[in-house]
Homo-oligomer: A and B are copies of this chain.
């Protein structure tokens, strides 16, 4: 998103996070802009009985957690490292200064927020009105376009666990397992030693 040169010029520091480390926590006020150098970060909520909902998964080069930063509101979700990660951390004031002095970065931020809003619009409609098969397929097809799924001779490898698919679509893991099997029977996707291809 923001080039290494520019973000470092404004005083960003690099920080490493181990797997399962918390980057920030639901309810806290935002102090920084975060941009992933390497690794994988998920943003998620837990309801009262511990059930998780994954808001999104972010990869190298992507930023996350900006909306509350712009609004001075508390984080609505947690950010957790799914695997070891290295992240640029830029204090809010420096970030705002960077934006002011580099109007083109604003456009990048807008495009990024627009992309995420688009994803949320599509998935919100899916989750609230569509049945499991439709939801899972939509998530997978979105993932092919916007998450970093790799294509090989079997098609696109959907490298999410059944649990992750459930946490992204609001379904329980058993339902996802059964749904994926049904979708395979219908020829919508392939299962090759437990991995899902589309």
Which chain A residues have a beta carbon within 8 Å of chain B's beta carbons?
Answer: 45, 47, 51-53, 55, 66-71, 73, 76-77, 99-100, 103, 106-107, 109-111, 113-118, 120-125, 127-130, 169-170
Contact = CB atoms under 8 A, between A and B. Distances in A.
A55 B125 contact: yes
Contact of A113 (B45, B68, B107, B117): B117
9 contacts: A53-B125, A55-B125, A70-B111, A103-B103, A106-B110, A110-B110, A113-B113, A117-B117, A129-B170
B170 A128 contact: yes
A84 to B, nearest CB: 26
Given A70-B110, A113-B114, 14 more contacts: A47-B125, A52-B129, A53-B124, A55-B125, A67-B114, A71-B115, A73-B118, A106-B106, A106-B107, A120-B120, A123-B124, A127-B128, A128-B169, A128-B170
A125 B128 CA distance: 11
A110 B113 contact: yes
Nearest to A50: B129
A86 to B, nearest CB: 25
Contact of A71 (B55, B69, B73, B118): B118
Contacts of A73: 118
A124 B127 contact: yes
A32 to B, nearest CB: 15
A70 B130 CA distance: 27
